[in-house]
Amino acid sequence: APVDNLGTGIRNALIPSESTKLKQYRNVLLGLSVSETVLGTLSIALGIAVSVLGSGSRYVSSYIPSSSYYDYNSYNNYYSNYSGVGEGIWCGIWVLIAGSLGIAASRTKTKSCLIHCHMGFAITAAVFAASQVAASVLI
């Protein structure tokens, strides 16, 4: 009896290769994620340094105009104990998480959820970084 070998043969399946655009996207994502990780770590380190070094009291002298003719130049002198709210630490942690998610997303080929999570964290980290700059200037 003749043997039918249709079901027993091994066929060479074509493995889809990654397009050059997708490879470029992954390389750009990896580069941006590494820079986010470095900047997040730097922000945390500088935030800790500012919190430690800025925790002492500082002498503040501010000019208050007086309505009296004889007391024209009066100054309000006091000690300030402001040490910040740790904006460098909290914003740095958020940027560090965004960078870590980006590195993980650049190394996987099947999980688009990581790419979307990285994008959300990166946008939120940019908003937090703007608020960090504003807090550093104003406070």
**For 100-113, how does the pLDDT look when each residue is reduced to its tens digit (9 = 90+)?**
999 999 988 777 88
> Which stretches of the chain drop beneath a pLDDT of 70?
1-18, 55-84, 139
Domain ranges of the chain: 20-66+82-138
Per-residue 3-state assignment (H helix, E strand, C coil) for the chain: CCCCCCCCCCCCCCCCCCCHHHHHHHHHHHHHHHHHHHHHHHHHHHHHHHHHHCCCCEEEEEEEECCCCCCCEEEEEEEECCCCCCHHHHHHHHHHHHHHHHHHHHHCCCCHHHHHHHHHHHHHHHHHHHHHHHHHHHC
Share of the chain above pLDDT 70, in %: 64
